[in-house]
Amino acid sequence: MVRASTTRVLDRLTDLPALVMDAKGDVLAWNAMATALLGDFSAWVPPTRNIVWQRFLGSCPTPPVPAGTRRRRRRRQAGRSQRTTSSISPLSTSYTKPAMTTSRSR
């Protein structure tokens, strides 16, 4: 499936995540950094190792989430919802256009 020379290159890339994929998007080989970033591909059965298909359907084993990421994501979402509820939309019923005052003095 994957040549020995390609496997050796993957083994030498210790500081970069690397995948070997075919034209369809099937993951054929990976290194330790790719496992740390994307999850353990060996846990997937070979027919489900198509990374494109997995990312669109979302049924692959989820990669580990770094510590604090969920907390930051929740804070961001809470901030967005507060901004959207506190802002006045020109289409809402409570919006009133300021009256134009004109004074004619001669």
- DSSP for 1-49 reads ---HHHHHHHHH--SS--EEE-TT-BEEEE-HHHHHHH--GGGS-GGG-
CA angle 53, 68, 27 (to 5 degrees): 20
Calculate the average pLDDT of the chain. Answer: 75
Instruction: Using the predicted structure, report yes or no on whether residue 86 has a pLDDT greater than 50.
Output: no
Inter-residue contact 7 to 29 (CB < 8 Å) = yes
Kindly report the pTM of this predicted structure: 0.52
Kindly report the backbone phi and psi dihedral angles of residue 27, in degrees, each rounded to the nearest multiple of 5, phi listed first: -80, 120
Residue 91's pLDDT is 52
Instruction: Using the predicted structure, report yes or no on whether residue 32 has a pLDDT greater than 80.
Output: yes
Inter-residue contact 39 to 61 (CB < 8 Å) = yes
23-to-12, 13, 15, 27, 50 alpha-carbon distances in Å? 24, 22, 25, 10, 10
* Top-confidence range, 4-18, 31-45, 52-66, 84-98: 4-18
Would you call 53 helix, strand, or coil by DSSP?
helix
Q: Between residues 20 and 60, which one has the greater pLDDT?
A: 20
Residue 7's pLDDT is 92
Residue 53's pLDDT is 82
* Contacts of residue 85, Cβ cutoff 8 Å, sequence gap at least 6: none
Residue 30's pLDDT is 94
